[in-house]
Amino acid sequence: MHPTEVVYLEHDGKLLLVDDSGNGPQPCTMGRQETTPHLRFPSREEVNRMGITWEEERITDIRFDQSTIRVIHGMPNIDWPSHWTWKDEVISDNSVHPVAREAVYRSIHRLVSKVIIQNQQNEVLMAKVERGFFKGYWTLPGGYMNHSEEPAEGCVRETYEELGISVAVDDKTPIITQRSFHRDGISFMSFTYFSRWNGSISELKLKEGEIAEARWFSLDDALNNAVSEFDHIAIESMVNQD
Of 47-51, 85-89, 158-162, 180-184, minimum mean pLDDT range: 180-184
Sign of CA dihedral 29, 31, 37, 42: positive
The pLDDT confidence band at residue 64, using thresholds 50, 70 and 90, is confident
Encode burial over 151-186: b for 16+ CB neighbours within 10 A, e otherwise: beebbbbbbeebbebebebeeeebbebeebeeeebb
pLDDT digits (tens, 9 = 90+) for 119-152: 999 999 999 999 877 889 999 999 999 999 999 9
24 and 97 within one domain: yes
Residues 221 and 124 in one domain: yes
Tell me if 174 sits within 8 A of 191, measured CB to CB. yes
CATH, residue 10:
3.90.79.10
The answer to whether residues 102 and 116 belong to one domain is no
CA distance 190 to 169: 15
CB-CB contact of 236 with 220 (8 Å): no
**Section 167-193 average pLDDT:** 86
Q: Which of 90, 106, 122 is the last residue of a domain?
A: 106
Please say which residue of 106, 126, 160 terminates a domain: 106
Residues 6+ apart with CB under 8 A from 182: none
Mean pLDDT of 187-191: 91
Same domain, 129 and 74: no
Q: What is the pLDDT of residue 70?
A: 95
Q: How many domains in the chain?
A: 2
Same domain, 121 and 230: yes
The residue out of 106, 130, 156 marking a domain boundary is: 106
Over 70: is that where the pLDDT of 182 sits?
no
Q: Are residues 52 and 39 in the same domain?
A: yes
CA 70 to chain centre: 19
CB contact at 8 A, 212 and 130: yes
> What is the number of alpha carbons within 13 Å of residue 226 lying toward its C-beta?
24
- 115 and 101 within one domain: no
154: containing domain: 110-241
- Residue pLDDT, tens place only, 209-242: 999 999 999 999 999 999 988 999 999 987 776 5
Q: Are residues 172 and 233 in the same domain?
A: yes
